[in-house]
Amino acid sequence: MAIGWRGAGTLAAALLLSTTVSAQAPPHRPVVAELFTSEGCSSCPPAEAVVAELARSRPDVLALAFHVTYWDRLGWADRFGLAAATVRQQHYAAQFLQDSVYTPELVIDGWRQAVGSDRPAVLAALHAAAVEQAPAVALTLGRAGGRVRVDVGSGAGRGTVLLVGFDSWHRTPVARGENGGQTLTEANVVRALAVLGPWQGAALMDEAAAPAGEHLAALLQAPDGRILGAAVLP
């Protein structure tokens, strides 16, 4: 059916309004779920299963598995253990006023935490974080050759720009320790974590060598731990 002049004008105005509203809408970002885990921890495989479910079925969530190193002394050295993961969890423990670190701990958007194997608690925390999420600071990622570029938009506050390299899936036969004799399935395994620099509220661009890992993520994190922005490059 043809649209008359008056109808066409109304349609054009509606399209213009829609475009304006879309342009002014705050950028969307995923809720960030950080699991602190270890191949040497017998309580961790159920939490790894939760992360695998999130990675497979929740595009609105960026799930990352940080393998800590403090379990290595108990009979099995986690091949994905990162000193930076241990330090990151220690910072969260201080932020949450915890007496010590533990696995499997899952930190949601930098300001909530739950036992990673407690699926109902994790899902509830993810929902609460999505509902209470502040307007995101825009982040975009690009890769060219061996370099990575992170563009950060302007916004309120200040923070630190982080670059994460991670792998989608691994299967690891464990010979010793609490999981000895098992083959573990691990999802979104963090292979590298780097601090790119500070953000003071003005738009900026950071560039770095591409880290280890099949995929890349960038995080903008406030001094109080809250995630202000997140982006993923498959």
Closest CA to 68 of 55, 53, 94, 86: 86
What percent of the chain lies above the pLDDT cut of 70?
A: 88
For the chain, the domains span 28-233
pLDDT higher than 90, residue 228? yes
> Which strand (E) or helix (H) includes residue 181?
none
What percent of the chain lies above the pLDDT cut of 90?
A: 85
Burial class of 131 by CB neighbour count within 10 A (0 to 12, 13 to 18, 19+): exposed
**154-212 per-position pLDDT tens digit:** 999 999 999 999 999 999 999 999 999 999 999 999 999 999 999 999 999 999 999 99
What is the per-residue pLDDT for 90? 98
What is the per-residue pLDDT for 24? 44
Instruction: State how far the alpha carbon of 32 is from the alpha carbons of 12, 38, 79, 183, 225, in Å.
Output: 38, 19, 24, 27, 12
DSSP state of 137: P
**24-75 per-position pLDDT tens digit:** 445 689 999 999 999 999 999 999 999 999 999 999 999 999 999 999 999 9
**1-29 per-position pLDDT tens digit:** 333 333 334 433 333 333 333 334 456 89
Model confidence at 234, in pLDDT bands (50, 70, 90)? confident
**128-165 per-position pLDDT tens digit:** 999 999 889 999 999 998 999 999 999 999 999 999 99
Class in CATH terms, 28-233 = alpha beta
What strands, in cross-sheet order, belong to the sheet with 204-209?
139-144, 147-152, 204-209
Is the separation of the CB atoms in 37 and 46 below 8 Å? Answer: no
**91-118 per-position pLDDT tens digit:** 999 999 999 999 999 999 999 999 999 9
- pTM comes to 0.88
Q: What is the overall mean pLDDT for the chain?
A: 90
Alpha-carbon gap, residue 107 to 93, rounded angstroms: 10
What is the per-residue pLDDT for 26? 53
Give the phi and the psi of residue 105 in degrees, each rounded to 5: -100, 135
